[in-house]
Amino acid sequence: MKKLILEEIVSLKRQNFKDRSYLQKLQQMVDDTPSLKQWRDSGQLMNRKEYEHYYPTGRVLNSDNVFRYAGGEVIELTDSGMFFHPDVTANSLSAVEEIVYNNLIKE
């Protein structure tokens, strides 16, 4: 996960990303393996246009709104109100986050 977060920091800095506190939060995650809470807190709600602007090589989206997390993970908010990730779909964002996080720390 640390390598992905470092790549994300470099990419965002190249794009003159304005949210310095978010960049600092990412840097702290590189220094120590993030807890579930820290990883959850890195989530940014963004619309498809914003996501595609900052992450043009990211996953192809099916939804208009997404939560994007440190390390590049994306959870989509579907039109039916479900939360979708390739590993799991559920009606609870926290349930999906926990599964995605646990899969990340296993890698």
| pLDDT tens digits along 52-98 | 888 877 777 788 999 999 888 999 999 999 999 999 999 999 999 99
pLDDT at 95: 96
User: Span 7-32, mean pLDDT?
Assistant: 86
Residue of 91, 88, 107 lying closest to 99 (CA atoms): 88
Of 97, 3, 99, 103, the closest CA to residue 43 belongs to 97
Whether 50 shows a pLDDT value over 80: the answer reads yes
Give the model's pLDDT for residue 43. 93
pTM: 0.83
